[in-house]
A and B are shown apart, each in its own frame.
Chain A
Amino acid sequence: MAQTTSRAVRIRRGMTLPLLLLVLWEVSNRTGLVDPRFLPSLESVALTAKRELLGNDLIFDLLSSLARNLGGFLVGAVLGIAFATVLAMSPLAGRLVMPTFNGFKQISLLAWIPLISVWFGFGEQAKIVFVALACFIPVVLNTYDGMREAPKDLLEVGQALQFNARQRFLRIYLPSATPAIATGIHLGLIYSWLATVGAEYFLAVGPGIGGLVIAGRERFDMAMVMVGVVILGLVGFSLNRLAAVLESHLLRWRPPRTA
């Protein structure tokens, strides 16, 4: 698509609607057009953010959520890559397990929460298990597919050179599957954040941004809910960007993909 408009114009256009909404928000608030309980003024949202930040350990909540997210993500990603590697390198294991795995993955992630809460309680352990599960699924799927698509001629070369399993893994499967693994990890990172939020909603108790939002709802404190929701979005966005940057950095040795 030809770039016909300058960057400045595009930025100005992009800002128009959000600014308009903010003005509308402020005006409707000043004139008493809407109930401030449903739409608190910008000022009170800012004040709430400040209160949570300085007085109520917002940072601690955020760090708890991130730690949970990271913990679950690491467990899920490592297990996922290992699991998928075993399945992909042994043809029989793949045929044996993958159909069942594909069946299980159909169950919406959140539907696991009741069972997980029975098995692991409502504490930190249950949350980590849930986040790990959320990350595990996309990592396995992508790693498995990536390894199955390892070039046949390379595998033949490996056979001719009498590679053992370790060599096949390190020299053939892993390099050819790296892009797919990166995609899987990227998706895993996104899903594990969603799962962190979900875990904090449903497996209540304990510090966390999800808990902050739920508490805000229970107290009918719209400003608090808004602060929490914006943070949820910002963290998700940052994780996504981070994954994208890491992905392109890790794959910089590859020629650009022609999709």
Chain B
Amino acid sequence: MAVLTASEPEATRSAATPWRNRAVDALIALLLPAALLLLWWTASDRGWLAEQILPHPIYVYQTLRDMIASGDLFYHIGVSLQRVLIGFCIGAGFGLVLGIAMGLSERVEDYVKPLFLAFAQIPTLGWIPLLMLLVGIGETLKIIVITKGALVPMTLNTFAGIRNVSPRYLEVARALRFSRWQTLRLVILPASIPFVFTGIRYGLTHAWTSLVGVELLASSEGLGYLLVWGRQMFWLDTVIIAMLAIGLIGFIMDGGLNRTERLIQRWKRNDI
């Protein structure tokens, strides 16, 4: 099954190296952004870059301060986060139930999985116009789209997690004459937790991406709206700030879950 795979930045190296090496690494990592900023700054100062192509960094900074002071930025962030949170909770909840049901029962899998895969095949972006006709462009649309974004990876990963429980564990459970319920509670569910976590992480990432998509197409508030609006008014400073906010929030969500996941994996490794 195509459980979503993507590569991770290596993290194992830094664990063993002393803090001095890490400081050097961080310094090196900061060189390029600093150089880019400097380049951007001089290019704007000297007028190599038209204001409509890339506004002056100072100008972006001022807009950022204004937007923070007026509460605008945090208002839009709040709207977006709320949508993602609601949609993600619904999608992940359903995905967990569906994934467990398909994982435990071959019958459920046979009945549901082909249809589910067919639905999952159509990109979230593809559903948006169809849903717009069905439910309009209100809040419902956004929640449904985000729910779908979270549902698919959650279901597939949970399913894979349950199916990948090591046969050896199941043998032990059989030898100990566990009941079905005991096998489920003491063997299958704990063993599939790392997969579920992967599902949560991808689910949240997809929910966030879907949010940006749906807000770009139909919204009057939120970070995606800020992008469209800034674009229409040719306020590129607003566009850049919205992009940075989207990246930063995505980074924080992903990073937080990544850390939690690693904690869980450590438990898993010790277990074996």
Contacts of B28 in A (CB 8 A): 92, 95-96
Cα A93 to Cα B247 in complex, Å, equals 23
B110 touches A13 (CB 8 A): yes
A107 touches B246 (CB 8 A): yes
What's the least CB distance linking B123 to chain A, in Å?
A: 5
In this assembly, does A206 line the interface, its C-beta being within 8 Å of a C-beta of chain B?
A: no
Cα A183 to Cα B112 in complex, Å, equals 28
B227 touches A114 (CB 8 A): yes
Known: A115-B239, A142-B7. A106 touches B247 (CB 8 A): yes
Among B6, B30, B227, contact of A138 (Cβ-Cβ < 8 Å): B6
In this assembly, does B230 line the interface, its C-beta being within 8 Å of a C-beta of chain A?
A: yes
Contacts of A170 in B (CB 8 A): none
A106 touches B248 (CB 8 A): yes
Chain B residue at minimal CB-CB distance from A15: B114
Contacts of A96 in B (CB 8 A): 28-29, 31-32
What's the least CB distance linking B1 to chain A, in Å?
A: 12
Contacts of B231 in A (CB 8 A): 114, 117-118
A197 touches B53 (CB 8 A): no
Cα A36 to Cα B23 in complex, Å, equals 65
Cα A180 to Cα B8 in complex, Å, equals 12
In this assembly, does A202 line the interface, its C-beta being within 8 Å of a C-beta of chain B?
A: yes
Interface residues of A in 85-107 (CB under 8 A from B): 92, 95-100, 102-104, 106-107
In this assembly, does B122 line the interface, its C-beta being within 8 Å of a C-beta of chain A?
A: yes
What's the least CB distance linking B183 to chain A, in Å?
A: 14
B216 touches A113 (CB 8 A): yes
In this assembly, does A163 line the interface, its C-beta being within 8 Å of a C-beta of chain B?
A: no
In this assembly, does A158 line the interface, its C-beta being within 8 Å of a C-beta of chain B?
A: no
In this assembly, does B10 line the interface, its C-beta being within 8 Å of a C-beta of chain A?
A: yes
Q: B127-165 CB contact bits vs A (8 Å, 1 = yes)?
A: 111101110000000000000000000000000000100
A194 touches B228 (CB 8 A): no
Cα A184 to Cα B246 in complex, Å, equals 24
A115 touches B236 (CB 8 A): yes
In this assembly, does B107 line the interface, its C-beta being within 8 Å of a C-beta of chain A?
A: yes
Total chain B interface residues with beta-carbon distance under 8 A: 63
A108 touches B212 (CB 8 A): yes
In this assembly, does B181 line the interface, its C-beta being within 8 Å of a C-beta of chain A?
A: no
What's the least CB distance linking A86 to chain B, in Å?
A: 14
Contacts of B6 in A (CB 8 A): 138, 141-142, 187
In this assembly, does A169 line the interface, its C-beta being within 8 Å of a C-beta of chain B?
A: no
A183 touches B9 (CB 8 A): no
In this assembly, does A109 line the interface, its C-beta being within 8 Å of a C-beta of chain B?
A: yes
| A to B CB contacts below 8 Å, 21 in the list | A5-B106, A13-B110, A15-B114, A38-B133, A92-B28, A95-B28, A96-B28, A96-B29, A99-B29, A99-B32, A110-B212, A114-B230, A118-B53, A141-B7, A145-B7, A183-B7, A194-B123, A202-B216, A213-B130, A214-B129, A233-B123
Q: Could you list which residues of chain A lie within 8 angstroms of chain B, going by C-beta atoms?
A: 1, 4-5, 9-10, 13-18, 21, 38, 92, 95-100, 102-104, 106-115, 117-119, 138, 141-142, 144-145, 148, 180, 183-184, 187, 193-194, 197-198, 201-202, 213-214, 216-217, 220, 222, 225-226, 228-230, 232-233, 236-237, 240
Q: Could you list which residues of chain B lie within 8 angstroms of chain A, going by C-beta atoms?
A: 2, 5-10, 25, 28-33, 36, 52-53, 106-107, 110-115, 118, 121-123, 125-130, 132-134, 163, 208-209, 212-213, 216-217, 224, 227-228, 230-231, 234, 236, 239-240, 242-244, 246-248, 250-251, 254
The 10 closest A-B pairs by CB, nearest first: A99-B29, A13-B110, A233-B122, A114-B231, A107-B247, A14-B114, A217-B129, A106-B247, A106-B251, A232-B126
